[in-house]
Amino acid sequence: MITKKEQLIALLNLTEEEKRFYDTEEGMLPLKIPAHYASLIDPDNPNDPLRRQVVPSSEELKIDERTTLDPLAEEEYGVTERLIHRYPNRVAFLTTDICAIHCRHCFRRRFTATDQGPATSDQIKEAAAYVAEHPQVKEILFTGGDVLTLSNVQLKEMITTFRAVRPDLIIRLCTRMPAAHPARITDELVAMIKSFDSAPFYLMTQFNHPNELSEQAVAAVARFVDRGIMALNQSVLLSGVNDDVETLVLLSERLVQSRIVPYYLFQGDLVQSTAHLRVPLNKTLILEAELRKRVSGLGMPTLAVDLPHGGGKVPLSTHYLVGEREKGVWEFITVDGKKRFYYDPVY
């Protein structure tokens, strides 16, 4: 009998080096690719942009001493065993360490696939108690891992616990599932989520390349959008995947056509074993300027970098404002490189 491992090796036409990293090596995230996502990869193209996101390589063994396994200092900002409070008005809850797919650019390698499993009832109650005691917290991110690897029953119990103490709490469902395994998104799942109607839910997707927006993926997101749950996309800028303006334009256009808001485009985090996927910042700024020329406001994500040591997200952008040339007279450079002036009102 052919094993699942052998099927995947054959389907993706893995090289000898890639086979070597199929199983976990010390310090590496194990390979994990759902059948749907694997079917989107061209097995004859070693540079396929989806393949580069999910198939491990020896590049991950090269350690840059300036990177860490916790670049965002989440452990420092942990307020309970699974709850992170880094921004004043929102928290992140690590619902599980399990993902449907293992992305090679994962910034939470210290936690993902560490056999900790879904949050326990006590861990959920502890986090809910903290949120109840901190009314300044308006939003919670259900993240991980991937929250939608939980069963409908598990997810319902989790939502129930948080909404029991904070019915006003906005919940973000952070998931790669529509891209990786869209069959998980069922009408039953969405109906269960919509049964909690005291505050909004938001679906936070991650599509990094237009090829991930398969017919099944778009239909999965539509199940949420059709029921009034807005979908916002957070892409990661990745070398050899989407670091050219044509790909970024097509990604934004397809997202908008699929009723998904291009919300963020993130510079890669300074996480260990991912240096080969990060894009130099100078190139990133050039891409941002070119993308701004070619897409509308609906399709323009906020380019941002999540600064290390808990510095938080800051926007990256070409500086179009040159400065105040004289009192009330502001000089700008247009996206086409032309000079323009803006005048403050005179009273």
The residues annotated with a catalytic role in the active site are 86-87, 90, 99, 103, 106, 108, 269, 306, 313
Amino acid (one-letter) located at 269: D
> Cis bond leading into 337, ω under 30°?
no
Across the strands, what pairs with 173? 142, 203
Amino acid (one-letter) located at 251: L
CA distance 132 to 96: 21
Containing 347, the helix (H) or strand (E) segment is none
CA distance 274 to 64: 9
Nearest to 272 by CA among 55, 29, 63: 63
**N- to C-terminal Cα distance for the chain?**
84
CA distance 232 to 262: 6
Contact indicator for 161, 129 with CB cutoff of 8 Å: no
With vertex at residue 154, the alpha carbon angle to CA 152 and CA 158, rounded to the nearest 5 degrees, is 115
Contact indicator for 212, 40 with CB cutoff of 8 Å: yes
Q: Can you spell out the DSSP letters for 213-252?
A: --HHHHHHHHHHHHTT-EEEEEEE--TTTT-SHHHHHHHH
> Cis bond leading into 145, ω under 30°?
yes
Contact indicator for 302, 295 with CB cutoff of 8 Å: no
